[in-house]
A = this chain, B = another copy of it.
């Protein structure tokens, strides 16, 4: 069974771009579109630009939060321009990212996120991502139109699927245990923050918010599966229990 791939557009400003994305997706045999707080949707301009891919628009799901859009997803890739990036997440080019996406096989959908036309994804929106996806471009004029970026990524996904079909199984090391979903990860990071607070850990070089973001990026890079999240939470709980048992009268 082939991996389901979800295109997630975050706070898109121009409805025409949403329509062009629908067409680009359908041209490349993708059909799962999720819109997080689009400025205007549905909209006649979206329908006009979809030109034959209205079915993708009609089936599109609209959500009011990124976490709702990502519900149930495993691997999450965030598109970015190379120069913005995020120093703590790995940057993969579109071709390599597409190959990863189509060979991801834990049974859960893969999501690929695209931010707003003007500014892309915010640092906050990157928190669910396991890796960044960058489209190689002219360094002095790297900013692609949103629908063009989706077109290239969708094209690479189709190429990767064709490659995958033709080629007899390159060995891909991939766990069959599902990746932890975004909500489980949120709970784990909240638990970690709580423990760091309790043990009074302060990194000398960084503020608390920065530290948590840093740790989160670090752990996201490892792509935690559900068993690994259970182990980590078990360790966090053990730290808390031992401390509480050791201090019967509280602090």
Residues of A within 8 A of B (CB): 20, 23-24, 26-29, 51-53, 82, 85-93, 95-96, 132, 134-138, 141-145, 147-148, 151-152, 155, 158-159, 162, 170-175, 196, 198-201, 203, 211, 214-215, 218-224, 228, 231, 234-235, 238-239, 242-243, 246-247
Contacts and interface: CB of A to CB of B under 8 A. Distances in A.
Contacts of A135: 155
B53 A141 contact: yes
Contact of A23 (B28, B90, B145, B203): B145
Q: Which 3 pairs across A and B sit closest by C-beta, in order of nearness?
A: A222-B222, A201-B238, A221-B222
For the complex formed by this chain, how many copies does it contain in all?
A: 2
Nearest to A26: B141
A87 B221 contact: no
B92 A172 contact: yes
Given A159-B136, A239-B199, A243-B242, A141 B174 contact: no
Contacts of A142: 27
A170 B131 CA distance: 14
Contact of A238 (B23, B143, B200, B224): B200
Nearest to A221: B222
Nearest to A138: B29
Contacts of A174: 85-91, 132
A231 B219 contact: no
Contact of A170 (B27, B52, B95, B247): B95
A49 B158 CA distance: 27
A200 B242 contact: yes
Contacts of A28: 137-138
A53 B239 CA distance: 56
A141 B52 contact: yes
Nearest to A55: B141
Contacts of A211: 231
Contacts of A242: 198-200, 243
B175 A88 contact: yes
24 contacts: A24-B144, A24-B148, A27-B141, A27-B142, A29-B137, A85-B174, A87-B174, A88-B175, A91-B174, A92-B171, A137-B158, A148-B151, A151-B152, A199-B235, A199-B242, A201-B234, A201-B239, A211-B231, A214-B228, A215-B231, A218-B231, A222-B222, A239-B239, A246-B246
